[in-house]
Structure 1
Amino acid sequence: MNQIERYIFRIALGAFLACLIGLTGTIWVTQALRELDLITAKGQTLLIFLFVTGLSLPTLLVVIAPMALFIAVIYALNKLNGDSELIVMSAAGMRPRAILRPFLTLATMVSFLVGFLTIVVMPASFQELRDVITRVRGDFIANVVKEGQFTELDNGISFHFRERGQNGTLLGLFIRDGREAGKSKVYLADRGNAIEVEGQSYLALEKGSVLQQQKDSRDSSILTFERYTIDLAAFAPPDSDVIYKPRERSTTQLLFPDKTEGYFKLQKGRFRAELHDRLSSWLYPIALAFIAFAALGDPRTTRQGRGVAVAGAVVAVVALRIAGFAATSAAARSAGAALAIYAVPLAAIGLSSLIIFHGPAVRSLTARLAAALRGLGPSRRLARG
């Protein structure tokens, strides 16, 4: 790129980064506030909260990056035109291709980012998010027992604690274990903490006693302790097999699915639609950059308003996204409709290129067609007369 192109690229890149960081940060904070119940209601740590909310960042970037690029191109073109730089460039003989090049370079970089996130990072983040949420929901201490209530489990265990202290500490614990036939154990402890060792969850009791008693017998034994550990695996219900949705599976798994899997047989269309939607995601940033340049790339005087052009570009982007969603939905029902997933952004790029590089010819043809349609009106009225 020459000096002018680097200047344009810096303006567009600065606007893109500002939009991307600002929008992503705002939406991420909004999403994070919705997950505060991980700490307040489910007793999870701040680290788990940040990890779960951080897993949504790849999805946010994929959605926001193309729109941030679109806004950046519009801002840069408006700035160049408002400062009369676009008019000077055009008067100096700089072709639209040269002005488009820095925007296309930025769009290519954004496309690479979106494609990498969609094909590689997003499926892994969705899968990890599913695993974390499954572990959180399976957390016996956080989700099953309630403060001040006696909880009866199907496997013969009764659990109670008086209140929850700081850092998730359970105060005033009572546990009755009746799983063994003919024997019962009662655990009393001042406090208890859930800990994890090598992937296994345990409840560490402090300053308490264990009462053991045989059924139909008056004999019993009491054991006092300073610290006692109970395996929580026996408290929680057995885990069921996790079935990952198409968006939670890697691209390799979508390309080469297990065709004998029952879930794949039921959702074969969704697997196909998800795969092609991922492979076409990188086309949308380029399409949005072309649409913005087609609407605002022509130099205009400051007296000529550009609001209509901006509104037209926004409408075109909305129509593009609606058409893309419709194509993805159709691909889930029909294998032949998968081509439409690629055709939608490619058509937007093609039509925008036609306007950018052959704008006068297109406008002349449009004007002639409009004049011809207006001329048909009187002829029809005379024919009727």
Structure 2
Amino acid sequence: MGSIDRYIFRTTLASFALVLVSLTGVIWITQALRGIDLMTSQGQTILTFLGITGLVIPALILIISPIALMIAISHTLNKLATDSEIIVMNAAGFSPFRLFYPFFYATCVVALLVAFIAAYLAPDGMRRIKQWDAEITADVLTNILQPGRFAQLDQNLTIRIRERQPGGILAGIFIDDRRDPKERNSIVAERGTVVKSGDGSFLVLEDGNLQRFETGKRDPALVTFSRHAFDMSKFSNQGHDVTLGIRERYLWELFSPAENDSVYKQVPGQFRSELHDRIMAPLYPFAFAALTFAFLGAPRTTRQSRNFSIGGSILAVFGLRMAGFACSVMAVKSPLAPLIQYAMLFAAIGGGLWMIIAGVVVEPPPALLEAINRSNARIARLFGRPVTA
């Protein structure tokens, strides 16, 4: 790569990274707000909340990356056109196809990133989310024990907590344990925390007292404690199996699902649709890059022409992406839908490259330009401003 190629390559990737981080951050915040109940109703820590919601970021990047690349290429070409650098490079003998080289290199980097995310990172994140969420919801201590309610965990065991505090602390704990027919235990504690270890799950109580009513004795035995461990292993379901959905499967698992896979037997069409979506994910950056450069890569002399080309590139990319989504939906029932999607992608890439090599310049129709100029002139006269071309 020459110095000009490196300059354009760095500018494009820097713009891509900025747009990707910005769009992903905004969308991630909207998604993360849905899981805020992890810290409120279920008493999870902020690290658990950030960990679970952060695992969805690879899936967001998978969808946003091609769009971010298109915006980055548009920004770089617009910057080059505004500074008249495209005109200078064209006068120096740079053909549009030669100018496309650094953008192609940047597209290859983005395509490799998308391929890795589609094959491994995104399904791995979704798999971890499902396993983590299952561990939280399956545990009775975080799922059944709700503040202000008496939870009957067993026929002879009742627990009530007053509130959940930050850090997973349970405040105002009352336990009525009548599982032993020879005695009845009533425990009241100021606070408690759930501790899980290899030996099981324990509710560690602090600053409380225990009243033991034994059969045959009139007076209860009262014990005051500063720390007491109450065994809850029986009510903690941590060793259950998690059924993985289609989005949680790695790419090679979609290629060759097990013959006894119950999910595959139920929805084989969704396996087909997801498989082709993963394979086509790295192709979308090339299609978006080719279409965007085909519309914006040629030198422009008027603002109207540049704006028209920007609008045309947006419509072309948006139409291709919407058609891709439609084919993904139809692929569930029709094996021909993925073939149509492949044909559209390769047609977009081929058409864009042909326009670049042939030097096709997308210009607005003369009638449209005249209408825009007349409208601008009327607006300028209305506000008493000089008319500009």
TM-score, normalisation: structure 2: 0.85
The question of 1:68 aligning with 2:61 is answered: no
The corresponding residue for 2:167 is 167
Q: For 1:201-254, what per-residue CA distance to the aligned partner results, in whole angstroms no more than 9, with x for missing partners?
A: 321012334444567986865555432212333235687642111111122221
Cα distance between partner residues in 1 of 2:265 and 2:50: 36
Cα distance between partner residues in 1 of 2:138 and 2:354: 56
The corresponding residue for 2:18 is 18
Cα distance between partner residues in 2 of 1:247 and 1:166: 33
273-282 vs 186-195, which moves further: 186-195
Contact 2:291 2:348 in 1 (8 A): yes
RMSD of Structure 2 on Structure 1 (CA): 2.8
The question of 1:87 aligning with 2:87 is answered: yes
Provide closer, same or farther for how the CA distance between residues 61 and 209 of structure 1 changes in structure 2, counting only shifts above 3 A: same
Cα distance between partner residues in 1 of 2:220 and 2:83: 91
Q: For 1:122-161, what per-residue CA distance to the aligned partner results, in whole angstroms no more than 9, with x for missing partners?
A: 1110000011111222243333222232222354421112
The question of 1:148 aligning with 2:114 is answered: no
Cα distance between partner residues in 2 of 1:257 and 1:199: 36
Provide closer, same or farther for how the CA distance between residues 156 and 284 of structure 1 changes in structure 2, counting only shifts above 3 A: farther
TM-score, normalisation: structure 1: 0.85
The corresponding residue for 2:78 is 78
Contact 2:189 2:206 in 1 (8 A): yes
Contact 2:168 2:193 in 1 (8 A): yes
Contact 1:73 1:292 in 2 (8 A): yes
In the TM superposition, what are the counterparts of 1:300-379 in structure 2 within 5 Å? 300-360=300-360
Q: How far did residue 167 of structure 1 move?
A: 3.1
Contact 1:82 1:302 in 2 (8 A): no
The corresponding residue for 2:246 is 246
Contact 2:81 2:87 in 1 (8 A): yes
Provide closer, same or farther for how the CA distance between residues 237 and 139 of structure 1 changes in structure 2, counting only shifts above 3 A: closer
Cα distance between partner residues in 2 of 1:303 and 1:331: 42
Provide closer, same or farther for how the CA distance between residues 216 and 358 of structure 1 changes in structure 2, counting only shifts above 3 A: farther
The corresponding residue for 1:128 is 128
Q: Which consecutive unaligned segments of at least 5 residues does structure 2 have?
A: 363-389
The amino acid across from 1:64 in the alignment is I
Cα distance between partner residues in 2 of 1:173 and 1:106: 59
Contact 1:84 1:301 in 2 (8 A): no
The corresponding residue for 2:158 is 158
Cα distance between partner residues in 2 of 1:140 and 1:169: 15
The question of 1:105 aligning with 2:101 is answered: no
Q: How far did residue 18 of structure 1 move?
A: 1.9
Q: How far did residue 181 of structure 1 move?
A: 5.6
Cα distance between partner residues in 1 of 2:325 and 2:199: 41
Q: How far did residue 307 of structure 1 move?
A: 1.3
The corresponding residue for 2:3 is 3
The amino acid across from 2:297 in the alignment is G
Q: For 1:175-218, what per-residue CA distance to the aligned partner results, in whole angstroms no more than 9, with x for missing partners?
A: 12344566543333232111222494321012334444567986
Cα distance between partner residues in 1 of 2:181 and 2:310: 76
Provide closer, same or farther for how the CA distance between residues 312 and 135 of structure 1 changes in structure 2, counting only shifts above 3 A: same
Contact 2:201 2:236 in 1 (8 A): no
Contact 1:276 1:341 in 2 (8 A): no
177-186 vs 2-11, which moves further: 177-186
